Amino acid sequence: MDLTQQEWSEKLASDDNAQILDVRTDDEVAEKHIPNAKQMDIQNPPKFMEELQKLDASKNYYVYCRSGSRSAQACAILKSQGFENCYNLLGGITEWEGETVS
C-alpha cells in the first residue's frame, strides 16, 4: 500500500508492531536515514532475500528508499513472500520531513 508522507508517519506513530525498512545502498544510508530503520539493500538481491527470510511476518513493515520506486518493489516482494502489512513511503526519503540521522 502506498502512503503519503503524512499517512505513513501517522500510521507509524500509532503502530506498536512496526518495523521500518530502508532498502537503499550503504552509501545512501550513510548520508541520512530514518532512526531505527533496518537496512536491506534491494540492489543486492541475494542478500536482500537472505535478510527477508529473517523478518517476522507478523510485523507491519514501513518501507522507504530514495524516491519511492525501490521501496514499492520491495513491498511487492514482501507481499509475494506472505507479508501482509507493508507500507511504501511515496516520495521516499527525498521528500521525508520527519526525523533523520546522518
Catalytic residues: 65
Helices (H) and strands (E) in the chain, counts: 4, 5
Is 59 exposed, middle or buried (CB count within 10 Å of its CB: 0-12, 13-18, 19+)? Answer: middle
Q: Which residues pair with 86 in a beta bridge?
A: 61
